Chain A
Amino acid sequence: MPVDVAMAASDRPSDEQIIAALRAGDERAFHDLYARTYATMKRVARGYVDSDAVAEETVQETWAAVVTGIDRFEGRSALGTWIFSILINQARTHGARERRALPFASVAVGDEREPAVDPDRFQSDEDAWPGHWATPPRPWAKPERRLLSLEARQRIKDALADLPDRQRVIVGLRDVEGCSSVEVCALLDVSQENQRVLLHRGRARLRAALENYVENA
Chain B
Amino acid sequence: MDNPGRPRDRHLAAAGAGADEVTCQQFVELITDYFEGTLEPRTLTLVEEHLVMCDWCVTYTEHMRATIDLIAELKEPDLVPEPAEHVLAALRARREAR
- Interface of A toward B, CB cutoff 8 Å: 22-27, 30-31, 34-36, 38-39, 56, 60, 63-64, 67-68, 110, 115-117, 119, 122, 129-133, 136-140, 144, 147, 152-153, 156-157, 160, 171, 175-178, 181, 192, 196, 199-200, 203-204, 206-207, 210-211
Which of A117, A181, A196 has a CB less than 8 Å from the CB of B28? A117
Please state if A176 and B67 are interface contacts (CB–CB under 8 Å). no
Task: Return A24 CB to nearest CB of chain B, in Å.
Answer: 7
Interface size on B, residues (CB 8 A): 48
B66→A131 contact, CB < 8 A: no
Q: Which of A122, A156, A177, A207 contacts B25 (CB 8 A)?
A: A122
The A interface is mostly helix, strand or loop, or mixed, namely helix
Q: Which residues of B contact A (CB under 8 A)?
A: 14, 23-26, 28-29, 31-33, 36, 38, 54, 56-57, 59-60, 62-64, 66-68, 70-77, 79-81, 83-84, 86-88, 90-98
Q: Given A131-B25, A131-B26, A160-B74: A196 and B66 within 8 A (CB)? A: no
Task: Give the distance in Å from the alpha carbon of A61 to the alpha carbon of B23 in the complex.
Answer: 50
Contact residues in B for A138 (Cβ distance below 8 Å): 59
User: Chain B CB within 10 Å — which of A38, A39, A133 has the most?
Assistant: A133
